[in-house]
């Protein structure tokens, strides 16, 4: 039994009964959505009409594994992403043609690339391949286009990324992730007002996402509005105190404002939560350099550099710490290595405050051009 009730008047507007097998759950969703749209006189676009008209049987067990994977991935921790991948892979073992599960796999690999959980070129290639498979099976999957756009952005194909993200939004105007990735492209190319508008659109669609609130904070951080960014990172932490990324990004803004003791506490919190992810440790190295503790900063940098033999440690991050320490030639050498490794951090070249010490070197503009970041 489905009912549509006016919350304002506590009045039933529509009801109907449906009797379907669990395998027909997607068809049931389409039928109910179409009936509700008709009842409340929503204008359905041609794209939406085609989506509602699709009929797809689903393996009930595969769909359940997919839902588990989708829910688990929201935590974005290394453990959560590994578990999410297992759920999606179980779904695909049960139904190899289940396109949403392929899109889920793509999303996990995109997160692995974005958060330094895997070699970036490898994870981006895996994400691209899974997204392509999803779209071969179902070219109406907005999430797959959104992941593809994220991968293209990290590969610095910004025009291609924008095209994919606009396609995702056309297919699903309510897909928050697509607006968030588009916002990242905007602030990385110094379109800060557009970035903030896109990020607020994303968080308006999914106000309980700590990732999206962190994204709003990032839009202000890269615009150098550090005080405002702190408010949004704080919202993310209140939603999920276990999200290391929000602690690390909050620390970064506190550091920029000279609030060093608070920054240190947040970096340490991020490091406790991040596991093998190197971001918070890089943050602490920057903080030591900013405070004039050169010996400690160099000790941490040496540890991170040596750790590349055992785990993923970004060449981009190493180059940025060298920039903070005034090692201009070493900074450019490591940023060149980052480019050869497909480092996702390179998308931030034009706007990252930590690269200010080398920004006026002629080699910097050359690197921006080589990365294709001067084309949008």
Cα separation, 36 vs 20, whole angstroms: 18
| 140 inside domain | yes
Phi, psi of 2 (to 5 degrees): -115, 140
What is the C-alpha separation between 199 and 23, in angstroms, rounded?
Answer: 36
> Burial code of 110-140, b = ≥16 C-beta within 10 A, e = fewer?
bbbbbbbbbbbbebbbbbbebbebbbebbee
Last residue of a domain, one of 173, 188, 216: 173
Clarify whether residues 17 and 100 are in a common domain.
no
Classify residue 286: in a domain, yes or no: no
Residues 42 and 114 in one domain: no
- With beta carbons less than 8 A apart as the criterion, state whether 101 and 88 touch: yes
Q: Is there a single domain that holds both residue 79 and residue 166?
A: yes
13 is a domain residue: yes
Closest to 285 in 3D by CA, of 302, 261, 310, 266: 302
- Cβ atoms 255, 287 nearer than 8 A: yes
For residue 337, tell me if it sits in a domain. yes
Whether 373 maps to a domain, the answer reads yes
Are residues 31 and 98 both part of a single domain?
A: no
Mean pLDDT by 10 residues, the chain (376 residues): 60 62 54 56 59 68 97 94 98 98 98 96 98 98 98 96 98 98 97 98 98 98 99 98 97 98 98 93 98 98 97 97 98 98 97 98 96 81
Buried b (16+ CB within 10 A) or exposed e, 187-203: bbbebbebbbbbbbbbb
Query: Which residues, other chains included, contact 252 with Cβ-Cβ below 8 Å and sequence gap of 6+?
Result: 221, 263, 283, 286
Q: Check residue 133 and give its pLDDT.
A: 99
- Contact yes or no for 179/205 (Cβ under 8 A): yes
Confidence at residue 49, expressed as pLDDT on a 0 to 100 scale: 57
| 151 contact partners, CB below 8 Å, separation of at least 6 | 106, 110, 113, 124, 127, 128, 131
Task: For residues 66 and 158, state if they share a domain.
Answer: yes
Q: Residue 19 and residue 45: Cα distance in Å, rounded?
A: 28
Q: State the chain's mean pLDDT as an integer.
A: 91
Same domain, 69 and 38: no
**CATH number of 86's domain:** 1.25.40.10
Residues 163, 67, single domain; the answer is yes
**Structural domain ending residue among the three candidates 173, 189, 216:** 173
Angle at 73 between CA 95 and CA 123, to 5 degrees: 80
Full residue range of the structural domain in which residue 125 is found: 60-173
**Residue in this structure with the two tokens 């919350």, named with its chain if needed:** 7
pLDDT of residue 276: 86
Q: What is the pLDDT of residue 57?
A: 73
Instruction: Say yes or no: 150 and 87 in one domain.
Output: yes
For residue 180, being part of any structural domain is answered with no
Q: Say if residue 70 is in the same domain as residue 167.
A: yes
pLDDT for res 58: 81
Q: pTM to 2 decimals?
A: 0.86
Q: How far apart are CA 28 and CA 18, in angstroms?
A: 8
Q: Does some domain include residue 135?
A: yes
Examine the fold and report which residue of 148, 173, 198 is the final residue of a domain before the chain moves on: 173
> Would 232 be classed as within a structural domain?
no
Give first-to-last CA distance, the chain, whole Å. 51
112 and 44 in a single domain? The answer is: no
- Same domain (yes/no): 39, 79: no
C-beta atoms surrounding 329 within 10 Å: 11
| Same-domain pairing of 66 and 46 | no
In the chain, how many domains are there?
3
What's residue 374's pLDDT? 80
């Amino acid at each position: 039994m489905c009912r549509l009730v006016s919350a304002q008047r506590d009045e039933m507007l529509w009801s109907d009964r449906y009797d379907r097998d669990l395998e027909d759950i997607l068809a049931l969703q389409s039928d109910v959505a179409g009936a509700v749209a008709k009842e409340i006189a929503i204008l359905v676009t041609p794209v939406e009409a085609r989506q509602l008209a699709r009929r797809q049987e689903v393996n009930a067990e595969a769909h359940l594994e997919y839902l588990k994977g989708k829910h688990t991935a929201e935590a974005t921790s290394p453990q959560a992403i590994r578990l999410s991948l297992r759920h999606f892979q179980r779904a695909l073992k049960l139904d190899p043609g289940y396109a949403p599960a392929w899109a889920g796999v793509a999303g996990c690999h995109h997160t692995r690339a974005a958060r330094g959980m895997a070699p970036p070129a490898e994870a981006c290639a895996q994400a691209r391949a899974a997204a392509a498979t999803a779209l071969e099976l179902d070219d109406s999957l907005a999430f797959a286009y959104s992941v593809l756009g994220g991968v293209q952005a990290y590969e610095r194909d910004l025009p291609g990324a924008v095209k994919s993200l606009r396609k995702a939004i056309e297919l699903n105007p309510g897909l928050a992730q697509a607006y968030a990735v588009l916002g990242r492209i905007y602030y990385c190319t110094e379109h800060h007002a557009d970035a903030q508008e896109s990020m607020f659109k994303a968080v308006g669609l999914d106000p309980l996402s700590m990732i999206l609130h962190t994204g709003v904070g990032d839009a202000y951080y890269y615009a150098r509005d550090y005080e405002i960014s702190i408010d949004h990172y704080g919202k993310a932490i209140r939603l999920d105190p276990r999200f290391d990324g929000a602690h690390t990004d909050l620390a970064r803004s506190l550091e920029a404002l000279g609030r060093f003791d608070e920054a240190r506490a947040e970096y340490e919190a991020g490091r406790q939560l991040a596991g093998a992810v190197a971001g918070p440790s890089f943050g602490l190295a920057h903080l030591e350099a900013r405070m004039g503790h050169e010996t400690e900063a160099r000790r941490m940098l040496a540890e991170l550099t040596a750790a590349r033999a055992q785990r993923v440690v970004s060449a981009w991050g190493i180059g940025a710490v060298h920039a903070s320490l005034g090692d201009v030639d070493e900074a450019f050498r490591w940023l060149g290595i980052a480019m050869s490794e497909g480092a996702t951090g390179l998308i931030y070249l034009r706007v990252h405050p930590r690269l200010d010490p080398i920004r006026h070197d002629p080699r910097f503009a050359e690197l921006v051009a080589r990365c294709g970041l001067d084309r949008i």
